[in-house]
């Protein structure tokens, strides 16, 4: 039945999409909002990006899930928009406006030889794996005592920390059983974090950096190598004024001065090292890095001096970019859809009517979860301001959307269906003393949402 109200689709049920949906329905304008996601589960990066041991950070789910109350926002999961799914143009026939909140799903590359060898992976795959993402059920190669993680952002810290934790530490988190089993069988003992600039340039946030020191059986080794010797870290602490940088330097200086302990695992922080090539024929056997130095202009330059680290797994955690959205402009340099106040604009700066963006696809892969709220509120305000002037959709009836999905062979997952999977995960968790255990296999997820016995046909 058509409600007569304008209809808005939010594509992407991650934090940015859900903040936008909440802002849309919180306004005085009567509007019907559907949140579509290609997966049968909501919460996007909160579910599939926040590290399993960051339990508090996941509690934002309680806020993000609120708009799915009866009669408010509709969840339409299991629906892929764009390539391999429903074309955007077809979706537009059902909605007055579309807000794209699809994030940045592609790992940036290093552009060095050996990057495609087995054992060389982007952080997206390994984070997706330990977060139980159905696209990343294959375990990384953990049959190696040493791993390199390239990058100095919070994702590099997450990966290093999860790999250095004991399986027992992770048993009470939501990691799938298969992840715990692979970590138990794994041989990783040394995680080398390779940082191309100096300790004052890391993008870590201090709380996350300090957390490396709280692991049950791992210690942090700050490699000094003469570059930081002679109290250089302490000197930096004297000169640097930025609070975040100072807090990071203080943590690093403490570790640099600490006497080695007896932990069986180590996280090595290696500064001023830029990856040059990944070694191996059938799989990764090492990584060659070039020592770098800071010039007077504050930029790093290569010194020509190379060194090799024997590692069997290389994880690049050097940021993300986005998949272009067919039918919308895209800036490959920033990995974003160009926009003004959330309104998509074309190359001439003209607004593309009815198309909006929010979150990482709008501003690039930066900021914490809360950063998306401000962004989403602004985008929602643009949508609400424009709605009276936008033409009504060709098919305003919600039943027409069901017919479109059916024509594409899609059986959508509504909120009640997701809650069945939610309950199943909580039930599974009880057996391991965890709040939940993620179901990572897509067929098992679909069986749970549709209330079928495991192995049943979800279609
Ligand atoms: P990021 O913060 O942008 O860090 C990317 C890192 O990669 C930088 O240290 C960068 O070094 C390095 N890098 C880029 N290209 C490189 C290359 N070719 N060789 C070597 N190093 C290279 O990105 P991120 O870690 O993916 O995080 C994305 C966003 O999510 C950030 O805003 C982050 O804070 C947030 N996040 C937050 C949490 C949390 O709050 N716990 C957890 C995960 C992610 P340069 O600085 O030298 O360019």
Domain stops at, among 288, 319, 350? 319
Ligand 1 in reach of 317 Cβ (< 6 A): yes
Q: Please identify every stretch of the chain with a pLDDT value under 50, giving residue numbers as ranges.
A: none
CA distance 75 to 64: 12
Based on the domain organization, do 244 and 356 belong to the same domain? no
Taking the centre of ligand 1 as the mean of its atom positions, its distance from the CA of residue 415, in whole angstroms, is 34
**Residues of the domain holding 122:** 107-319
- Residue 231's pLDDT is 63
- Residue 225's pLDDT is 66
Ligand 1 in reach of 365 Cβ (< 6 A): yes
Taking the centre of ligand 1 as the mean of its atom positions, its distance from the CA of residue 414, in whole angstroms, is 35
**CATH classification of the domain holding 243:** 3.50.50.60
Per the domain annotation, does 426 fall within a domain?
no
Domain stops at, among 319, 342, 372? 319
Based on the domain organization, do 75 and 222 belong to the same domain? no
Strand-pair category, 97-100 with 351-357: parallel
- Residue 141's pLDDT is 97
Based on the domain organization, do 311 and 343 belong to the same domain? no
Pocket test for ligand 1, best of 60, 154, 269, 273 (most atoms within 8 A of CB): 154
Domain stops at, among 319, 339, 372? 319
Based on the domain organization, do 295 and 192 belong to the same domain? yes
Per the domain annotation, does 440 fall within a domain?
no
Taking the centre of ligand 1 as the mean of its atom positions, its distance from the CA of residue 319, in whole angstroms, is 5
- Residue 451's pLDDT is 85
Per the domain annotation, does 427 fall within a domain?
no
Per the domain annotation, does 450 fall within a domain?
no
Count how many domains the chain has.
2
Taking the centre of ligand 1 as the mean of its atom positions, its distance from the CA of residue 122, in whole angstroms, is 12
Based on the domain organization, do 269 and 326 belong to the same domain? no
In ligand 1, the atom with minimum distance to the C-alpha of 207 is 41
- Residue 2's pLDDT is 66
Ligand 1 in reach of 318 Cβ (< 6 A): yes
Taking the centre of ligand 1 as the mean of its atom positions, its distance from the CA of residue 365, in whole angstroms, is 9
In ligand 1, the atom with minimum distance to the C-alpha of 54 is 41
Taking the centre of ligand 1 as the mean of its atom positions, its distance from the CA of residue 119, in whole angstroms, is 21
Per the domain annotation, does 434 fall within a domain?
no
Based on the domain organization, do 265 and 366 belong to the same domain? no
Question: Do residues 55 and 361 make contact, with C-beta atoms less than 8 angstroms apart?
Answer: no
Q: Is 450 left (phi over 0), alpha (psi -120 to 50) or beta?
A: alpha
As given in the structure block, the two tokens for residue 422 are: 């939610």
Q: What is the pLDDT of residues 210-247, one digit of tens each?
A: 999 999 999 999 986 665 555 677 778 888 899 999 99
CA distance 219 to 29: 55
Q: Give nearest CA residue, ligand 1 atom 3.
A: 319
Based on the domain organization, do 153 and 284 belong to the same domain? yes
Ligand 1 in reach of 206 Cβ (< 6 A): no
- Residue 295's pLDDT is 79
Based on the domain organization, do 12 and 96 belong to the same domain? yes
Based on the domain organization, do 89 and 118 belong to the same domain? no
Taking the centre of ligand 1 as the mean of its atom positions, its distance from the CA of residue 202, in whole angstroms, is 8
Per the domain annotation, does 71 fall within a domain?
yes
Based on the domain organization, do 128 and 205 belong to the same domain? yes
Predicted TM-score of the model (pTM)? 0.96
- Residue 457's pLDDT is 57
Taking the centre of ligand 1 as the mean of its atom positions, its distance from the CA of residue 126, in whole angstroms, is 15
Q: What is the pLDDT of residues 173-197, one digit of tens each?
A: 999 999 999 999 999 999 999 999 9
Pocket test for ligand 1, best of 111, 113, 121, 155 (most atoms within 8 A of CB): 155
Per the domain annotation, does 430 fall within a domain?
no
Ligand 1 in reach of 150 Cβ (< 6 A): yes
Taking the centre of ligand 1 as the mean of its atom positions, its distance from the CA of residue 136, in whole angstroms, is 21
Based on the domain organization, do 114 and 218 belong to the same domain? yes
Ligand 1 in reach of 154 Cβ (< 6 A): yes
Residue 309, CB-side half-sphere exposure with 13 Å CA sphere: 28
- Residue 45's pLDDT is 96
**CATH classification of the domain holding 12:** 3.40.50.720
Based on the domain organization, do 111 and 240 belong to the same domain? yes
Pocket test for ligand 1, best of 299, 318, 322, 336 (most atoms within 8 A of CB): 318
Per the domain annotation, does 458 fall within a domain?
no
Ligand 1 in reach of 173 Cβ (< 6 A): no
Ligand 1 in reach of 158 Cβ (< 6 A): yes
What b/e sequence results for 221-239 when a residue is b if at least 16 CB atoms lie within 10 Å of its CB, and e otherwise? Answer: bbbeeebbeeebbeebbee
CA distance 220 to 256: 9
Taking the centre of ligand 1 as the mean of its atom positions, its distance from the CA of residue 445, in whole angstroms, is 31
């Amino acid at each position: 039945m058509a409600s007569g109200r304008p209809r808005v689709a939010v594509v992407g049920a991650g934090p940015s999409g859900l903040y936008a949906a909440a802002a849309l329905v919180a306004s005085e304008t009567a509007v019907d909002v559907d949140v579509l996601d290609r997966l049968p589960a909501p919460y996007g990066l909160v579910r599939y990006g926040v590290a399993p041991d960051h339990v508090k950070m996941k509690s934002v789910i309680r806020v993000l899930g609120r708009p799915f109350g009866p009669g408010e926002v509709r969840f339409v999961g299991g629906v892929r928009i764009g390539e391999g799914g429903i074309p955007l143009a077809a979706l537009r026939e059902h909605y007055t406006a579309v807000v794209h909140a699809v994030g940045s799903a592609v790992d940036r590359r290093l552009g060095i030889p050996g990057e495609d060898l087995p054992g060389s992976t982007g952080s997206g795959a390994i984070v997706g794996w330990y977060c139980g993402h159905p696209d990343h059920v294959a375990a990384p190669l953990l049959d190696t005592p040493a791993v390199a993680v390239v990058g100095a952002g919070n994702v590099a810290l997450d990966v290093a920390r999860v790999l250095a934790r004991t399986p027992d530490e992770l048993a009470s988190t939501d990691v799938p059983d298969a992840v715990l089993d692979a970590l138990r069988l794994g041989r990783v003992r040394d995680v080398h974090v390779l940082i191309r600039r100096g300790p004052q340039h890391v993008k870590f946030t201090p709380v996350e950096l300090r957390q490396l020191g709280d692991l049950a059986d791992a210690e942090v080794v700050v490699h000094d190598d003469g570059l930081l010797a002679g109290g250089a870290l302490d000197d930096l602490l004297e000169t640097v004024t930025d609070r975040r940088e100072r807090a990071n330097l203080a943590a690093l200086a403490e570790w640099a001065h600490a006497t080695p302990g007896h932990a069986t695992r180590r996280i090595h922080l290696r500064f001023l090292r830029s990856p040059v090539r990944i070694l191996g024929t059938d799989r990764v056997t090492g990584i060659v890095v070039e020592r770098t130095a800071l010039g007077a202009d504050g930029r790093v330059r290569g010194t020509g001096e190379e060194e090799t680290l024997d590692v069997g797994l290389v994880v690049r955690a050097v940021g993300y970019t986005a998949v272009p959205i067919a039918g919308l402009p895209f800036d490959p340099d920033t990995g974003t859809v160009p926009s003004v106040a959330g309104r998509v604009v074309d190359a001439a700066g003209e607004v593309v009517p009815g198309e909006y963006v929010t979150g990482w696809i709008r501003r690039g892969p930066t900021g914490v979860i809360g950063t998306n709220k401000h962004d989403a509120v602004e985008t929602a305000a643009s949508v609400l301001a424009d709605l009276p002037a936008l033409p009504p959709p060709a098919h305003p009836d919600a039943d027409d959307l069901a017919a479109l999905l059916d024509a594409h062979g899609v059986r959508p997952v509504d909120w009640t269906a997701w809650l069945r999977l939610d309950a199943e995960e909580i039930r599974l968790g009880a057996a391991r003393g965890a709040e939940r255990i993620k179901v990572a296999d897509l067929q098992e997820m679909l069986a749970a949402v549709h209330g079928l016995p495991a192995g049943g046909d979800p279609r």
